[in-house]
Amino acid sequence: MGNRINNLLNIKDNILSIYFTAGYPGLGDTVEVIEELVDNGVDLLEIGVPFSDPVADGPTIQHSNTVAIENGMTVKLLFEQLKDIRKSVDIPLIMMSSLNPIVQYGFENFCKKCKEIDVDGLIIPDLPVEEYIDNYKVIVEENGLRNIILVTPASTDERIRLVDENTDGFIYMVSSSSTTGENKNFTSDFESFAGRLKSMNLKNPLITGFGIKDKNSFNQVCQFSKGGIIGSAFVKAIGETQDIKSNIEKFMNQFN
């Protein structure tokens, strides 16, 4: 069997990916959040490793990171919580983390642990592609993981081609140059960026993130890419009441 990310990309369009912060709202909620999302039809999951200074995140995800750390979430505990996840979940799982917590844990150890619990990929937004190629690519590939790299409207064509050559999954297309969760409609800028990427005939498909908050904005990005990633809007939704199950059902209902 190939990597689950590649398998999904081969068989599906309009891929709904959701990001959540592990250990939020409660320390023990990680597995329940994953299983509820799978039950409600999510295609792909990004499990956020909380960090005190997340790079591109807006206030909602920053807040969830702070709460998760205060709750006591660590990389070690997260791996412990996920050790049996493949008994109940078979969709692709991606670990999303700043570089710092991974390096503190040990980059190679982190990748080995991902392989052990059968995680499919990594997203490390603050790891430049050049540094990835020089220092980390061999380790990631040895462990059968896909490293998903972000490109933005500010990325040069040269850099985008470098990303495309050095990844084998999807490219994370950032819809705009702002932080996550900013509540605005997609503009002609996004469409021209999508057009620019399309004209480059990249080998990897694109999935769009940043600013997607509901069914309507998800449908918009799916016209130009293989799918969309929702982060802030979902993180906000699961903290709305004490009942995580009903929060998730309510949020996911719009997509079903």
Active-site residue list: 46, 57
Going from the C-alpha of 224 to that of each of 32, 55, 109, 139, the distances in angstroms are 32, 26, 37, 32
Structure token digits, residue 68: 């998760």
State the CB neighbour count (10 A cutoff) for residue 31.
Answer: 16
Distance CA 20, CA 242 (A): 16
Of the candidates 218, 227, 234, the residue with the CA atom closest to the CA atom of residue 171:
227
Residue 209: strand, helix, or coil: strand
DSSP type of residue 89:
-
Of the candidates 168, 185, 165, 167, the residue with the CA atom closest to the CA atom of residue 176:
185
**What is the per-residue DSSP string for 150-177?**
EE-TTS-HHHHHHHHHT-SS-EEEESSS
State the CB neighbour count (10 A cutoff) for residue 41.
Answer: 12
Strands 15-21 vs 146-148: parallel, antiparallel or unpaired: unpaired
Structure token digits, residue 156: 């040069």
Of the candidates 205, 120, 130, 208, the residue with the CA atom closest to the CA atom of residue 163:
130
